[in-house]
Amino acid sequence: MRPRRRWWVAYGAGAVAVTLGLTWITVTVVRLERAELRARTDSAHQEALRLALWRLDSWLAPLLAREAARPYFDYQPFFPQQRAYTAVLDPIEPGEVLTASPLLSFESEYFSLHFQMAPDGGLTSPQSPRGAYRDLAAESYLSEAQLVANSERLESINSLVTPRQVQECVAAADEATGEIAEGPPIPLRAPPARAEQAQQEMNRQELTKRRGNYQQAVAAVRRQRAEQPVGGPAGPVVVGTLVPFWSNDAGGAVTLVFTRSVRIGHEQYFQGFVCDWPKLRDALLEQITDLFTGAALVPVVGLPRDNDPGGTMLATIPVALEVPRPAPPATGFVTPARSTLAVTWMAVLAGIAAVAVSLRASIAYGVKRSRFASAVTHELRTPLTTFRMYSEMLAEDMVSDPEQRQTYLNTLRDESGRLSAIVENVLAYARLEEGRRPARSVTTTVARLLDDVVPNLRRRADAAGLELLVEGDVAAPASLSVDVEAVGQILFNLVDNACKYAAGSEDRTVHLTAGVRDTRLVLAVRDHGPGVPNEKAKAIFDAFDRGVRNEGDPTPGVGLGLALARGLARDTGGDLTLRPRVAGGEGAGGACFELTLPLS
């Protein structure tokens, strides 16, 4: 494998590695950006969810606290002021003063009926009195229609609330309270991962905190509402916590029921009320319409109240808040991360391109140096050999014939001139490449310029056995500011090439044509040699590139003349070009170079 190819293979491998690495970084950054956006959206969603739960519990807690702090004797339609209270009143005695329960005329949009369950399972309601109490309530507190409606509601409760169901719910609530005091509840499924377990623990703490706020509200209501029954119960009274649960009716619909245990002496009663869940649900959802649209409150049946893996349950009732998960907001195609990646891609691609240009320039420089060494070595070998051989023969007086001796001396003179021209071209090209060539512009005319440079060109053509013909409007009065020495060197190199490559042609003339085109002086040098193919038109102007010539070409030269000539032409404000070959027309044979110079 050539060294140049190895360099390009190494460069390609490095460019591919950098591109793949940056592609991986791009994919990772975009993925992390999406994950961060999703996390911010979820965090905002969780904040809104916690705020919604707090609003729901804050709105419902005072209503439930009032019911939880209600005195136990409120669940009787009337109670006496002159004797001890009993859960089941005896018949009214003559002249006895009774106090009406606040529940007798209680009206609520959300709590439809209050009830009390006796130890034998019988249900009564302070809003549906019986016997003499019914007549007393009808006289001053309730209409007949209200009494009938309340009686129907009480009958419907018989299918919703059973002694066993109430006892199990109260017992489960007491057990759960004990578990909370002792430690976290036992999960109903496999232990979650650490992140999920931490989230569930945070949800449980949040739920406990909200329940604590509810219990504080209950205590405050109880302190504000002093119980003032005359007399006392027949034994100590223990009022339990108000427990919510869901009960199924005959049609399969669920109804929200609240109940609490009341122990009077050795007898246990259960007091509670039935909720109108559709109305209560709609009222709760109105509290969070500004936070969520499409939210729903779903009853939670069969799951302990203290087990809330999703963190969406209310602290006051066994209900979960379900809201649609929000989609990440559309940020458009331009984001800070993507803008940074775009700038990085442009910088990396620019760097890869810069490295490619530098590598190409370095390789081209190496090739140029190799060509220079090869061309100069090839060109110096023959004259140096001739110099050594002829100088030794002349120094040892081996040539006795005066004419032969003069021929050798003429050869040495020509070879020395050739070597001097090669060295001068190399030095001139080096000065031109480094920008060290001094400017020597003078103002002159076309005729005077040709008078200065043509004699030297004729001598070169005569030495090669060719004829130089000067054509065109050489007497044009136009003036120009130009470096005469540089123009002379350019034309000499062009004529010298014509002498080299057109020496074997039948037409042994070289044409130098002068003319004016678009305020520019055009000097064309044309020969009748083999010419230059169009596909080689650019290569011949490269330094040390001799076009189609092969290594065995006997024509002398290092391939520097045209490169130097174009460089000098552009350095003086002009240009040097090769006229394309036209099949069958002028320029079909030979090469024609045009030097353009700006006129004053």
Q: What's the pLDDT tens digit per position in 473-492?
A: 665 667 888 888 888 889 98
Rounded to an integer, what distance in angstroms lies between the CA atom of residue 187 and that of residue 175?
15
Name the token pair of 377. Answer: 């070595």
DSSP helix/strand/coil, 496:
helix
Which pLDDT score is estimated for 554? Answer: 52
Chain Cα centroid distance, residue 90: 81
DSSP run (H or E) holding 534 = none
* All residues at 6 or more sequence positions from 538 whose CB lies less than 8 Å from its CB, including other chains: none
Name the token pair of 108. Answer: 């609520």
Lowest mean pLDDT among 31-40, 158-167, 365-374, 440-449: 365-374
Query: Are residues 465 and 597 both part of a single domain?
Result: yes
Does any domain span residue 418?
A: no
Number of residues in the chain: 600
* Statement: residue 587 has pLDDT above 70: no
The winner for highest mean pLDDT among 244-248, 255-259, 403-407 is 255-259
The winner for highest mean pLDDT among 200-204, 368-372, 444-448 is 444-448
Does any domain span residue 565?
A: yes
Q: What confidence tens digit (pLDDT) does each residue in 345-364 have?
A: 999 999 999 999 998 888 87
Q: What confidence tens digit (pLDDT) does each residue in 524-565 have?
A: 999 988 888 877 777 788 776 655 445 445 555 566 778 888
Does any domain span residue 208?
A: yes
Name the token pair of 135. Answer: 């007549």
Which pLDDT score is estimated for 81? Answer: 58
How many structural domains comprise the chain?
Answer: 2
pTM of the predicted protein model: 0.54
* Statement: residue 264 has pLDDT above 80: yes
Q: Where are the alpha helices (DSSP H) in 316-401?
A: 336-395
Which pLDDT score is estimated for 285? Answer: 93
- Give the mean pLDDT of 497-517: 87
Does any domain span residue 485?
A: yes
Rounded to an integer, what distance in angstroms lies between the CA atom of residue 344 and that of residue 30?
14
Which pLDDT score is estimated for 201? Answer: 55
* Statement: residue 86 has pLDDT above 70: no
Q: Which domain holds residue 533?
A: 438-600
Last residue of a domain, which of 303, 322, 341?
322
Does any domain span residue 215?
A: yes
Are 413 and 402 in contact by the 8 Å Cβ rule? The answer is: no
* Statement: residue 184 has pLDDT above 70: no
Query: Are residues 125 and 261 both part of a single domain?
Result: yes
Does any domain span residue 469?
A: yes
* Statement: residue 226 has pLDDT above 50: no
Rounded to an integer, what distance in angstroms lies between the CA atom of residue 557 and that of residue 546?
8
Which pLDDT score is estimated for 544? Answer: 66
* Statement: residue 224 has pLDDT above 60: no
Last residue of a domain, which of 322, 352, 383?
322
Lowest mean pLDDT among 137-146, 192-201, 224-233, 538-547: 224-233
Q: What confidence tens digit (pLDDT) does each residue in 6-60 have?
A: 888 898 999 999 999 999 999 999 899 888 888 888 888 889 999 999 999 999 9
Confidence of residue 281 (pLDDT cuts 50, 70, 90): very high
Query: Are residues 161 and 287 both part of a single domain?
Result: yes
* Statement: residue 115 has pLDDT above 50: yes
Query: Are residues 164 and 313 both part of a single domain?
Result: yes
- Tell me what the pLDDT averaged over the chain comes to: 78
* Statement: residue 225 has pLDDT above 70: no
Burial of 329 (0-12, 13-18, 19+ CB in 10 A): exposed
Written in H, E and C, the secondary structure of 9-46 is: HHHHHHHHHHHHHHHHHHHHHHHHHHHHHHHHHHHHHH
Which pLDDT score is estimated for 136? Answer: 79
Query: Are residues 105 and 244 both part of a single domain?
Result: yes
* All residues at 6 or more sequence positions from 379 whose CB lies less than 8 Å from its CB, including other chains: 422, 556, 557, 558
Which pLDDT score is estimated for 553? Answer: 53
* CATH number of the structural domain spanning residue 562: 3.30.565.10
Last residue of a domain, which of 261, 289, 322?
322
Does any domain span residue 425?
A: no
Which pLDDT score is estimated for 134? Answer: 80
Q: What confidence tens digit (pLDDT) does each residue in 428-437 have?
A: 777 777 766 6
Does any domain span residue 443?
A: yes
